Amino acid sequence: MTAPNSAERKACWDSRDLLWKCLDDNGDKTASCEKFQGEFEANCPAQWVKYFMKRRDFLKYKEKMQTEGFTPAEGPRQPS
């Protein structure tokens, strides 16, 4: 597989941005964004699609941790 040229990269990034905006606007409901998901997958190499979706998950998690904070799970109590 050859690396995407400048125009192909731009088309991929634009498709990604449209999909992410749709997901943000629709509360991450993928059913509402199938059109954008299809365009994203058609315009980007499969490895990029995988990377960008993991990146989105990470960024959403990071945002949640920054706004809500971290609450450790309650585990077994240590005897004092």
Q: Among 39-48, 56-65, 66-75, whose mean pLDDT is lowest? A: 66-75
Query: In whole angstroms, what is the distance from residue 35 CA to residue 38 CA?
Result: 5
Task: Sketch the domain layout of the chain as residue ranges.
Answer: 6-61
Question: Alpha carbon of 15 to those of 20, 26, 45, 59, 67: distances in Å?
Answer: 9, 16, 12, 18, 28
Rounded to two decimals, what is the model's pTM? 0.79
pLDDT in tens, 10-56: 999 999 999 999 999 999 898 999 999 999 999 999 999 999 999 99
Question: Alpha carbon of 59 to those of 4, 7, 11, 18, 63: distances in Å?
Answer: 25, 26, 22, 16, 6
